[in-house]
Structure 1
Amino acid sequence: MSLRIGIAGISGRMGIYLAEEAAAAATLSGGTSRSGAGPAGAPHFPDIIALARESDVVIDFTHASTVQAHARALAETETPWVLGTTGYGPEDEIAIQEAAKVIPVIAAPNFCTGVNLVLLLAEKLGAVLPASQYDAEIVEMHHRQKVDAPSGTALAIGRAVAAGRGVDLGDVIASGRDGHTGPRKDGEIGFATLRGGQIVGSHTVMFTAGDEQISLTHHAFDRRVFASGAVRAALWLHAQPAGLYGMRDFLKL
């Protein structure tokens, strides 16, 4: 019997792609949704517990407000959890870590292979290029419906640069500059957020010195790239012991 994959939020834009990719690669056990609807022929479950009991792994790209409840439910049912939700806070992170003591969890702001290669390169550049000479700036653009800013992927790029520099992003972040901000501080990692149209996702990290600039850019043209990556991660995760994993573990980067 093939792996049964459940989709939390199956009627959403990402949920529909996830359902299609899961059905192509394994068995789609069904999903949950606020509307009570989903792709034709896909079983609908009343809550995350019911879905988890009929699934070997659950993929979750829902909303930050669901993280703690989903963490408890999936730990209770001992169901592996692929978490692509972004914008959650410190208490949610604690709930994820607690769940990972019981089940395997892979949490990532982006399941696209290309983005994760950018994260790896951003960390290496952050380590090699002196912060006093190379100003790091991250520019991202997404569709007009996106509710969190900067995006989870942009923040992940910032954390990668900060890790390369041996600092904490929270200590050097400069996001949403406005008004008379004064000169740029050495070591800042700046963020610019753009929203408009139906841009799937565009991220650029720039290291700019007085005599050169190095840029890394990733453009996503189709949300399916995130769905296919998440389903591949689900197939891998099911065979792992309890613990908290990232895309570097899955991609062996």
Structure 2
Amino acid sequence: MNGPTRVLIHGASGRMGQALLRLAAERGDVEVVAAVSRGQPAQRVVERVAYFAASELHGVPAFDVAIDFSLPEGFDGILRLCEERACAFVSGTTGLSDAQRAALEAAAHRIPALWAANFSLGVAVLGELVERAAAALQGWDCDIVEAHHVHKKDAPSGTALALGACAGRGGAQPRYASLRAGDIVGEHTVQFASAGERIELVHRATNRDIFARGALHVARRLAGRAPGLYRVRDLLD
């Protein structure tokens, strides 16, 4: 795509939304044309970005791709808008219902779409390595240990389950263990063990900005693609 990719950020008042706005401003290949949040914005334009309430979604300017980190109740509206405007859709919104996941799969027949539990580019590579290791190490024990901060409620983490799915595609049967301590951003270890030897594949996140950077990376590459349901690992190059 020539020129900056026009981005709409949906869920702009949240932690990820704020990180996306801050990091996008440092890049020359993306331009945030609209920021949408649930409530009425205190200012309509901030640093040349137009702000909208979710109830005003259909009034946003033209965009190439929407990045959605909101709540399940906001997911349907932004997905529908992307379908109506034939724009790409990137989402990390958690807690989606089965019906919403089905709607995403249906939308992917008409637009390029991507949902991920984790937008770290390193985790995307880790998933590929885990699948390859599981396929090569048939019969080995597979254990996934994840550690996060004390406020994280779900266990195992969504990323641990996604890595487990990668291991499962390779033929392993993963087991899970979860730790909640201090302010750990996120650590995932996938261990393969057999008699007399062990392999560990590890990813450690030390800054939450990696997830926003990853979302901007895939959004830039997803815009203008053919319809389909993509993964982060499909857009690494």
TM-score (norm 1): 0.81
Partner in structure 1 of residue 51 of structure 2? 44
Letter in 1 for 2:167: V
Deviation of 1:33 after TM superposition, in Å, equals 2.0
Question: In 1, are the aligned partners of 2:36 and 2:57 still within 8 Å (CA)?
Answer: no
For 2:156, the equivalent position in structure 1 comes to 150
The residue number in structure 1 matching 2:194 is: 209
What pairs up with 1:219-230 in 2 under 5 angstroms? 219-230=204-215
CA distance in 1, matches of 2:138, 2:18: 44
Deviation per residue, 1:41-96 (Å, 9 max, x gap)? 34221227337654221111223454344322321232211112344343222111
Query: Is the contact between residue 31 and residue 38 of structure 1 (CA under 8 Å) also seen in structure 2?
Result: no
Alignment of structure 1 residues 68-217 onto 2, 5 Å: 68-131=76-139, 134-165=140-171, 188-217=173-202
Separation in structure 2 between the aligned mates of residue 15 and residue 38 of structure 1, nearest angstrom: 16
Aligned residues: 229
Q: Is the 8 A contact 1:30 1:51 kept in 2?
A: no
User: What amino acid does structure 2 have at the position aligned with 1:220?
Assistant: A
Report Cα offsets for 1:123-166 as digits up to 9, x if no partner: 011111123xx22111112233434332221111000000011x
- Unmatched 5+ residue regions in structure 2? none
Q: Which has the higher strand share?
A: 2
Q: Distance in 2 between matches of 1:38 and 1:204?
A: 43
CA-CA distance at 1:38 after TM superposition: 8.2
In 2, are the aligned partners of 1:137 and 1:190 still within 8 Å (CA)? yes
CA contact (8 A) 1:11 1:38 kept: no
Q: Which residue of 2 aligns with 1:27?
A: 31
Is residue 84–residue 108 contact of structure 1 (8 Å, CA) maintained in 2? yes
TM-score in terms of structure 2 length: 0.86
SS in 2 for 1:44: strand
Distance 1:52 1:246 in 2: 27
When the two chains are superposed, the root-mean-square deviation of aligned CA atoms in Å is 2.4
Q: Identity of counterpart residues, as a percentage? A: 38
Question: Aligned equivalents of 2:23 and 2:77: distance in 1?
Answer: 25
